[in-house]
């Protein structure tokens, strides 16, 4: 992976992390189109730069994350991240294998798009208006929904927001809680992937590896800062339907590119 490729992939990550269209799926597509080598560093990079985007949440909601008197907030995040920690550890090899599959991304984008066309009408009895009303049980159920995003193309944002709506959170409350839950989830995922890469790679992290990771996280952070506010406002006004059409169209384009041999399956 070269400097320009890392910048482009990081921009894609920052733009898509908080949209219900799968940042991982979009990064895999970008890597295929840019002919980025399919190796362990690329897999690690794809996960690690998501942390940069997620840290934008900490900055934008810093009062929430550094309100140490509100201990229940931290308990909710801890409980919510447990399902991902368990399944991520148990199925890490299978998840890594899926990161190489454009076909999996295409299927997940298309199927998820169809679901998003109807999701606004499926959950219409919202009662929970803010994170303070979210219970520990709500948190763990939303965390279970989030695990669907271990399949590339599903979208962590979409899975956890829909999980929140299923637990009777409003769209905006579900989106914000999804952002909050992303912080410990991606901290754990990034730490695990970087440690695994370091242990499994004889040469460890080179100077170039560290430089690309640092730049990638910075770019993803800056772009995500701009994307978060846009998504919250857009979601309140328009819901999920437009993202459903986007996913369906992109999924169909991917199927065509795979069938015609322009992208490896």
pLDDT along the chain (265 residues), means of 10: 91 90 88 87 89 89 88 94 90 81 92 92 84 93 94 91 93 90 90 87 84 94 87 79 94 91 81
DSSP code for 53: H
Please state the pTM of the whole predicted model: 0.87
Residue 127 inside a domain? The answer is: yes
Number of compact structural domains in the chain: 1
In the prediction, which pLDDT does 165 show? 93
pLDDT at position 198 is 87
Token pair for residue 150?
């271990």
Listed in sequence order, the DSSP H helices in the chain are: 3-16, 23-33, 40-60, 62-65, 71-90, 92-98, 102-122, 136-146, 156-166, 171-200, 207-238, 241-259
CA distance 226 to 23: 15
Please, which residues bridge with residue 128 across strands?
169
Tokens of 76: 């909710």
Return the pLDDT at 226. 85
Does a structural domain hold residue 198?
yes
Let me know if residue 92 belongs to a domain: yes
pLDDT at 120: 84
- Cβ distance 129 to 176 under 8 Å? no
Quick one: pLDDT at residue 228? 84
Provide CB contacts within 8 A for 156, sequence distance 6+: 22, 23, 24, 146, 149, 178, 182, 185
pLDDT at 18 (0 to 100):
85
Distance (Å, whole) CA 145 – CA 181 = 12
Cα torsion 72, 74, 79, 82 to 10°: value is 180
Q: Is residue 168 part of a domain?
A: yes
Give the sign of the dihedral formed by CA 209, CA 181, CA 17, CA 256: positive
Answer whether residue 265 is part of any domain.
Answer: no
Asked if the structure places residue 197 within a domain, the reply is: yes
Q: Fill in the DSSP letter of residue 133.
A: G
Q: Please give the DSSP secondary-structure letter assigned to residue 168.
A: T
In a domain, residue 264? The reply is no
Cα separation, 95 vs 97, whole angstroms = 5
User: Given this model, what pLDDT does residue 183 score?
Assistant: 92
Write out the residue range of the structural domain in which residue 150 sits.
3-259
Residue from 3, 87, 94, 109 nearest 43 by CA: 94
């Amino acid at each position: 992976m070269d400097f320009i490729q890392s910048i482009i992939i990081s921009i894609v990550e920052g733009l898509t992390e908080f949209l219900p269209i799968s940042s991982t799926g979009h990064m895999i597509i970008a890597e295929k189109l840019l002919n980025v080598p399919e190796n362990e560093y690329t897999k690690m990079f794809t996960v690690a730069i998501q942390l940069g985007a997620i840290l934008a949440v900490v900055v934008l909601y810093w009062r929430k994350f550094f309100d140490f008197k509100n201990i229940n907030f931290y308990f909710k995040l801890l409980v919510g991240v447990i399902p991902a920690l368990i399944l991520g550890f148990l199925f890490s090899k299978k998840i890594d294998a899926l990161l190489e599959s454009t076909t999996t991304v295409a299927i997940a984008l298309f199927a998820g798009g169809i679901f998003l066309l109807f999701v606004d009408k499926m959950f219409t009895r919202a009662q929970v208006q803010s994170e303070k009303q979210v219970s520990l049980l709500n948190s763990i159920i939303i965390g279970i929904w989030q695990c669907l995003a271990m399949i590339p193309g599903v979208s962590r944002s979409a899975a956890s927001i829909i999980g929140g709506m299923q637990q009777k959170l409003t769209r905006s409350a579900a989106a914000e809680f999804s952002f909050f839950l992303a912080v410990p989830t991606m901290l754990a995922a990034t730490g695990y992937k970087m440690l695994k890469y370091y242990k499994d790679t004889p040469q460890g992290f080179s100077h170039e590896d560290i430089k690309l990771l640092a730049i990638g996280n910075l770019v993803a952070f800056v772009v995500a800062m701009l994307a978060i506010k846009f998504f919250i406002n857009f979601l309140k006004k328009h819901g999920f339907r437009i993202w459903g059409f986007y996913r369906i169209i992109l999924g169909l384009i991917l199927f065509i590119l795979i069938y015609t041999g322009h992208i490896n399956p």
